[in-house]
Structure 1
């Protein structure tokens, strides 16, 4: 056997994986292209296949070429054929699914905000979200099968995201409903729904799910009932890890798991699938099932587990990637792993092309790739340096380290920071995943026999689940647990480059450290010295100017007046959240609370501002939003605001265009808006008090929830001054897509701040808005990713830091 042939047998076959990667990018592009662009992209794939086939047929005929060189040339052109075939297949499927989903009247009706009557199949449980008027809304995904518009009924297959009230709380997965809703378009053509809908009234149930679905739903319900009585975070974490029900995960636990890189554990993930497969294999061996029958048993058990968790795209993704991860940790699987991963990517994208734009999908693929390429060799290298009794520790360290290394660039896109505690946190949590998952599955099996039978396995699952939650809470509070990192694509590319450099130079560094063992110890001491904060230090610089508080899905901002005094601009939806922010900033007196308008996500936190603080006045909009709000708009919270203010003895006054608010010689605000009522769009949003605020050398534009109609008026006010550029823009309406590009282009802020809730279901901030802000050279900071956004500095030298 030649050396080249021997190398091919021991190395990875990357052809299918590379083709899948190119196909993945092609799907991302195809989702955003018009129909002709999709056709052209598919044509490019066909052309690549034709060129490759022609070169394979006539290539390598030169007499001077050896047999091995001919084979090498043929393999290269075959690889091009493979890439072209995958691209053509995926783009063709994507185009067909886009046509199928957009067929019918729903997309056009959404553009004109029409009211339609639809029949549809429920695709998700009702998920509660915070509404904009202090009430809870339910979010339900429905696949519409029939739609009635203007008296005409059409057959469709269009997925829609429905916002409903508590009359939808009883709907279940795979029920067929009939209901009415007002449509509006999604934020992006690449969204996996064709429209958003606001349901009016209770739905009519046309058909119940089938017997198998009802049986599965009963098992899920039994598990939720049993685990509801578990202590602490286990009540939410056990059903999340076993059946993917995250409805009882607390916001604090969710935030801490995100900060420590443990979000893959608060839902069904590939690791859960691996442990279920291992358990089935062990049981089959214990029952002395024949070897040739064990794989069918594993596949059957895996199918039942996926059905229990519901065969949604995220669960199917976890199932497929978990199976491949299990394969990758075997010696034969290590060689076959890349091809299997490539095949899985292609199959999943055929099933659901919209997975291509999912961060969860990207993280699953990258984590699995890390296991395939790095986990086993890193584990072996580490085992060589450990005593025999500690060899199992090597793989335990290598697995989370490999996953964290390759997933880092994508995680940076989500949270603009690099977790230092992610690897040790995942290392400690990894041994707890299996007992939580398997004891949870045992609870599902025992639950139909009564709560007494399920008590023991449920509490057995609760013990490791509570430990996982404790790890997340503890490591999230480690000082210096995450390093701030440049946001967006530049930050991701920088981390990817550093990771690649570390991988390539790793063997050389390890060899140098073996020769000079004191060097790594000194490096660790230096790093710890840089990370550990000086006692008594504060994350907030003493000369801070403006802070966008992390108040969830809402607005809450603070302007520093010095000596514990401040101006508060909106209070967010939660009194505790804004109170906590003001305490962190050591604010004891509030000169003015500016309530831009009377939506709950801007005013319901007022009681938290008043908690233990002197408040001189409240300033708000003069527009009568209570009278102007239509049936499709959230009701005004003005009566509640006036009641809270009266109880605290705080006066309320209104301001309008041309008024000036002076709080200190160097803190002055000119009121740019409102001047009148705008009936188009949202009356309340367009009534937002808008400030041109100059504070401590910075110029800030505070926009409330303005929409395009009022943006135009504000642009006119700024243009009349002739100096419309700003240092900081508080982006309107949590970064929704309803922005006026001309206004952003005119103000050209150095920094843009978006106050938005993590995991919100409104699509905020819209990708189009982020692109718009970055197109003018603005650095974007978001409270959902960074926590409190703290702005300081002077004009032309704005400094920003975040609390996470």
Structure 2
């Protein structure tokens, strides 16, 4: 921000960037046919516009927009059709199996959640890879395309980008909005693992050196935070610290972004300028530092995006050339989206672009305004940078998360000054540790006070009452907040309005924070079914019609949360607990039921895997003298206001003996209640849903417990066959699985099905009608 004088903005390339982004987004979300139509219309319009506008300035600008939009749409259409026509895509629709050879494009990333238990060997990781071959040895055919692997963490955690492996697994559809061909669910270890490229191996050794040095000097929280600040490695960051960072609006500090690269390159420039290096040498050194950091962090798309955005941030904030920064940002958006179309649907990409635009467009003007009012240049820039970034990114965050952090600006103001020195010291530790371990540990030791400060800021900010405000999610919520933000910025230009707004905000804080903390009356009279808020898992309670008695279907991952839900419902007796399948997010809360309530029986399906879960259930049942019953299709159980019919598993799934089939071997129940028919589906995926449809069973229901927490592995024809008026999605807040899938939510809404989610609404009660009432203050771990 040179001399705090904002220069006129150069907007010439901005329309082209927005057009390329928009048409690519439309092609990814609406399909390749739409992209092809847009491409044809755009390119056909070019000669018409040329004939009408000639060489006029506005005509040339519009021609550039049309040509680039046409190219983007054509590229998206071509790639989309290639992905849709790939042999694996057809296999994915049937949930079939295949052997594929892949090359990893990034390291395995652990999926946060309780589906397999946090301390179990069955926990899962996600790996992005490029398909290289299709078919088993001897019949392998070359093939290409992007795939996603869901793999066991224990046997895959040491792999890195660049290695080739052979895997066998179930092929399932990818998420919507991607050009990924398919996802592969892998249960076993990788086969035929090749050595990674030398530069990838060197980068991993450097990252491991940083982890070792941090663990040797720092406590667990700080040792997990430092690799996150430096290279975005949060594998050892405690879960409670991650939660604090999200609430405080500091989660971006542990993701590789343009800020990381700006810090590294800025430090290199500053050092060279101090020793008197000229502009050419300084520029080359900054470029070398940027390239080295990309190698260190890994060349994944997110890091490459951060490299471009980091270069722009340097251009705008270090060199003070705001006028050239906006065209550079626009050109980068065009180039990146043309090369990697999937970035158009990436929240990280959108946040990077928005934050950079805020720093380029808003921050210089706001800093200059503060300077005119007597604020020195340095403090003015420190104040406006986090505020500008927060203003432009808040609508995006609200649209995706359904909440707004009210403490993020203050938290970033407090934490921001120490992030740069901690990052630089972390980079020095990474580079020096292989040369001399004590030097690396000394750099880590120098970073310890900065890390402690950031952790303290996150902890205290997250503990502020009303730190997070619930907000409507989705496009409507994002547009609403964007409109309110623009209106607020306009209103703040008037002195009298500023005073009124300050008074209004303070009054709202005083009134709303206590109201949000109050507990709404619960449970509502006449409830028939309740989806408890047990985090990332299922825990449902069905009223039997007898006082203080209910049937429980699945118990979630946490005994305390399941027990608390039953206490608040006034349930004192449980004649039956049904465990649809034995994954931890459905059975680990069983102790919270049997230890506090008389239980008549525990019903499970035919599959007794995973074995550790079956052992724990059997031991708990023996200790409390509760019989364990096997449920099979065709069984019926009655109570005064509840009838349970077992619909599945059927056929081969009822005979499954492998843990891999656990989801599709889920017990499926049709509950007839005072609220109508309720279909409880456990975690059945495509094969299990196909079996239910083929069985001829009457699947029509008033209420659907959406399979597998809203996973994308749900067939639209299954949802249409059920035809529910209300869909319950039992899902954890900020889970790492992408649940619920926007694709499935879209299918439900198009069918005029009301969607109710425990992550957004807390416990949800279904009453006759059926109509639903949410508890309004979701059960969370800190409610215990």
Output the TM-score relative to the length of structure 2: 0.86
8 Å CA contact retained: 1:549, 1:789: yes
- In 1: Cα distance, 2:85 partner to 2:749 partner: 34
Is 1:142–2:129 an aligned residue pair? yes
- In 2: Cα distance, 1:478 partner to 1:46 partner: 54
- In 1: Cα distance, 2:367 partner to 2:157 partner: 49
Is 1:527–2:515 an aligned residue pair? no
8 Å CA contact retained: 1:115, 1:182: yes
- In 2: Cα distance, 1:787 partner to 1:677 partner: 34
Secondary structure of 2:333's partner?
A: helix
- In 1: Cα distance, 2:469 partner to 2:155 partner: 43
Secondary structure of 2:518's partner?
A: coil
Which residue of structure 2 aligns with residue 774 of structure 1?
Answer: 749
Do the aligned partners of residues 547 and 255 (structure 1) sit closer, same or farther apart at CA in structure 2, a change above 3 Å counting?
farther
- In 2: Cα distance, 1:659 partner to 1:586 partner: 25
8 Å CA contact retained: 2:559, 2:591: yes
Which residue of structure 1 aligns with residue 235 of structure 2?
Answer: 247
2:574 aligned to 591, 595, 602, which one?
A: 591
* 1:326-337 equivalence runs, <5 A: 326-329=314-317, 333-337=321-325
Task: For residue 81 of structure 1, report the CA deviation from its aligned partner.
Answer: 0.8
Query: How far does the alpha carbon of each residue in 1:420-446 deviate from its partner, in whole angstroms, 9 at most, with x for none?
Result: 222222222222321221111121122
- In 2: Cα distance, 1:566 partner to 1:231 partner: 46
1:13 aligned to 10, 17, 29, which one?
A: 10
- In 2: Cα distance, 1:565 partner to 1:260 partner: 41
Is 1:193–2:176 an aligned residue pair? no
2:488 aligned to 496, 502, 505, which one?
A: 502
1:640 aligned to 607, 616, 622, which one?
A: 616
8 Å CA contact retained: 2:563, 2:592: yes
- In 2: Cα distance, 1:405 partner to 1:194 partner: 36
* 1:759-798 equivalence runs, <5 A: 759-761=735-737, 763-783=738-758, 785-786=759-760, 788-791=762-765, 795=769, 798=772
Is 1:438–2:416 an aligned residue pair? no
* 1:15-164 equivalence runs, <5 A: 15-32=12-29, 37-57=34-54, 74-95=56-77, 97-98=79-80, 105-111=87-93, 113=95, 115-129=97-111, 132=116, 135-148=122-135, 151-164=138-151
- In 2: Cα distance, 1:183 partner to 1:388 partner: 61
Is 1:219–2:206 an aligned residue pair? yes
* 1:547-558 equivalence runs, <5 A: 548-558=531-541
8 Å CA contact retained: 2:466, 2:516: no
Do the aligned partners of residues 331 and 416 (structure 1) sit closer, same or farther apart at CA in structure 2, a change above 3 Å counting?
same
Query: How far does the alpha carbon of each residue in 1:371-420 deviate from its partner, in whole angstroms, 9 at most, with x for none?
Result: 122122123323444x445x533332322222222222221222212222
8 Å CA contact retained: 2:83, 2:179: no
2:353 aligned to 365, 372, 394, which one?
A: 365
Query: How far does the alpha carbon of each residue in 1:471-527 deviate from its partner, in whole angstroms, 9 at most, with x for none?
Result: 33332232222222223222222222212222333313xx2247xx5x345324311
Do the aligned partners of residues 104 and 657 (structure 1) sit closer, same or farther apart at CA in structure 2, a change above 3 Å counting?
closer
Task: For residue 264 of structure 1, report the CA deviation from its aligned partner.
Answer: 0.9
8 Å CA contact retained: 2:290, 2:307: yes
- In 2: Cα distance, 1:466 partner to 1:452 partner: 21
- In 1: Cα distance, 2:753 partner to 2:439 partner: 59
Deviates more, 1:537-546 or 1:464-473: 537-546
8 Å CA contact retained: 1:572, 1:600: no
Which residue of structure 2 aligns with residue 512 of structure 1?
Answer: 496
Do the aligned partners of residues 782 and 236 (structure 1) sit closer, same or farther apart at CA in structure 2, a change above 3 Å counting?
farther
**Matched residue count:** 753
Task: For residue 355 of structure 1, report the CA deviation from its aligned partner.
Answer: 1.0
**Aligned Cα root-mean-square deviation (Å):** 3.6
Task: For residue 362 of structure 1, report the CA deviation from its aligned partner.
Answer: 1.1
Do the aligned partners of residues 430 and 51 (structure 1) sit closer, same or farther apart at CA in structure 2, a change above 3 Å counting?
farther
Is 1:461–2:436 an aligned residue pair? no
Per chain length, whose mean CA-contact separation is higher, i.e. which structure has more relative contact order (CA < 8 Å, sep 6+)?
2
Which residue of structure 1 aligns with residue 335 of structure 2?
Answer: 347
Do the aligned partners of residues 50 and 469 (structure 1) sit closer, same or farther apart at CA in structure 2, a change above 3 Å counting?
farther
Task: For residue 271 of structure 1, report the CA deviation from its aligned partner.
Answer: 1.7
2:729 aligned to 753, 757, 760, which one?
A: 753
Query: How far does the alpha carbon of each residue in 1:313-364 deviate from its partner, in whole angstroms, 9 at most, with x for none?
Result: 1111122122223333369632223211111111211331111111111111
Do the aligned partners of residues 675 and 19 (structure 1) sit closer, same or farther apart at CA in structure 2, a change above 3 Å counting?
closer
Task: For residue 151 of structure 1, report the CA deviation from its aligned partner.
Answer: 4.5
Do the aligned partners of residues 304 and 482 (structure 1) sit closer, same or farther apart at CA in structure 2, a change above 3 Å counting?
same
Q: Which runs of 5+ in 2 are unaligned?
A: 1-5, 655-660
Do the aligned partners of residues 199 and 700 (structure 1) sit closer, same or farther apart at CA in structure 2, a change above 3 Å counting?
closer
Task: For residue 535 of structure 1, report the CA deviation from its aligned partner.
Answer: 11
Is 1:417–2:392 an aligned residue pair? no
Which residue of structure 2 aligns with residue 64 of structure 1?
Answer: none
- In 1: Cα distance, 2:28 partner to 2:486 partner: 30
Secondary structure of 1:573's partner?
A: coil
2:667 aligned to 677, 680, 688, which one?
A: 688
2:553 aligned to 561, 569, 587, which one?
A: 569
8 Å CA contact retained: 1:260, 1:425: yes
- In 1: Cα distance, 2:566 partner to 2:421 partner: 42
Secondary structure of 2:144's partner?
A: strand
8 Å CA contact retained: 1:603, 1:637: no
1:338 aligned to 320, 326, 337, which one?
A: 326
Which residue of structure 1 aligns with residue 657 of structure 2?
Answer: none
8 Å CA contact retained: 1:745, 1:776: no
- In 2: Cα distance, 1:80 partner to 1:780 partner: 42
8 Å CA contact retained: 1:674, 1:689: yes
Secondary structure of 2:702's partner?
A: coil
- In 1: Cα distance, 2:232 partner to 2:91 partner: 34
8 Å CA contact retained: 1:677, 1:687: no
Secondary structure of 1:55's partner?
A: helix
Secondary structure of 2:464's partner?
A: coil
